Amino acid sequence: MPRLRSIFCMASRLALIFSSSFPSLANTALDDPLPRQADKPLEAITDVDTFYGSVEVEPGVRLRTLISRPSSIDKPMHPLLFTQWVSCGSVELSPGAGGMLGMLARESNLALVRVDRAGAGDSQGPACDKLDYDTEVAHYISAFEELLKDERIDASKVYVFGQSLGSTTAPLVASALQNKGYNIEAAMVQGGGALTHLERMINFERFYLERRPTAIPRAEIHEQMTQRIIFQTEYLAKGRHPDEIAKDSSAMQAIRNDVRGLDKDNQYGRPFTWHQQAAQQNFLAAWESLNSKVLVIFNEFDQFETQHGHQIIVDTVNRKSPGTAKLIVQEKMGHSSWLYDSMEQAYADEGGERYSDVTGRALVDWLGSIMK
């Protein structure tokens, strides 16, 4: 059973002020046995208090936790549980306004609750790039379940938000917590739909062929996609190692060398088993199981995901409970909420302007509308 550290680092507002004004003194406010893994100041977000703690999710695996709320509030708040993107970086925010997550911590009227995955940030345990999908989800569930007992949290209503890859873990975490008796008031996602992981990765290949700078003649895409579908099916649905698939034929060898994000021993920085386990998850069933309000945000120039993958969440939820789910389409915005002039510019990651506050405002406004 996970155990939450009884003492949280930076538990007072005074400590936060000191860490913000004097970055070199930030670590002196820590009063938690989990050591800092980097020589950097504690998170200092404008008008937000952040409380650092840790939770043991299994023997030898202790994860860094962060609970953030407006500095003006000193009472328990309903939690907004955050599940993050695919890359293994920390969920700690840079000093200042804090972007979209900082806005949520300041203006959502909820306590923003985050957990660093094993091996990321201060968290202990296996390296994040060795972590499989099932374990990642289990860690989220265990950590959040313990954090919902924290004195700063009013767990009578629970909100969940997943971004990018976190849009797939969010419904799984929400469904598991609902099964444990928690009232999931709302679930929100941006940048990830409810297609199977196999479909998602096949779509990645389609986009790669159509949009990459070195253009593939359109007449060749049909055969390329046929081969890539075979490769992805063997890899994700049947659980074979990419190197073994490459031995099947020269065509499979060529595909193995060109699948987007596929390296020697990982794909997009996560092990092959991570993707194979993700391919076994029924995301749509998790969404259908929820008894909560749902917001889905799709960015028009998303470099990876499809609008259909987002729309099916809304359609599934509304078929069960009409009017419960809403889709927002943000025009000309890419996966990470940057604004671009065209899809081609977005895919090449050329130019663009950060507009994450637009996504943050959409989330805050929708939350305000359902809390009335």
User: Crossing angle of helices 197-211/307-320, nearest 10°?
Assistant: 150
How much is the pLDDT for 1? 44
- pLDDT by residue (tens digit) across 101-127? 999 999 999 999 999 999 999 999 999
CA distance 146 to 56: 9
Domain boundaries, given as residue ranges, for the chain: 3-195+282-371, 197-278
Tell me the three state secondary structure of residue 281: coil
Which residue's entry shows tokens 């003006």? 72
Residue 98: which of 39, 3, 20 has the closest Cα?
20
Q: Which residues of the chain have pLDDT under 50?
A: 1-29
Strands in 151-259 per DSSP E = 158-163, 184-190
The pLDDT assigned to 299 comes to 96
Q: What is the pLDDT of residue 244?
A: 98
At residue 57, the pLDDT reads 96
User: What pLDDT is attached to residue 24?
Assistant: 27
- pLDDT tens digits for range 12-33: 333 333 333 333 222 223 556 7
pTM of the shown model? 0.90
Half-sphere exposure in the Cβ direction for 27 (13 Å, CA): 11
pLDDT at 10: 36
Would you tell me which CATH number, out of the four given (3.90.1300.10, 3.40.50.1820, 3.30.565.10, 3.30.1380.10), belongs to the domain 3-195+282-371?
3.40.50.1820
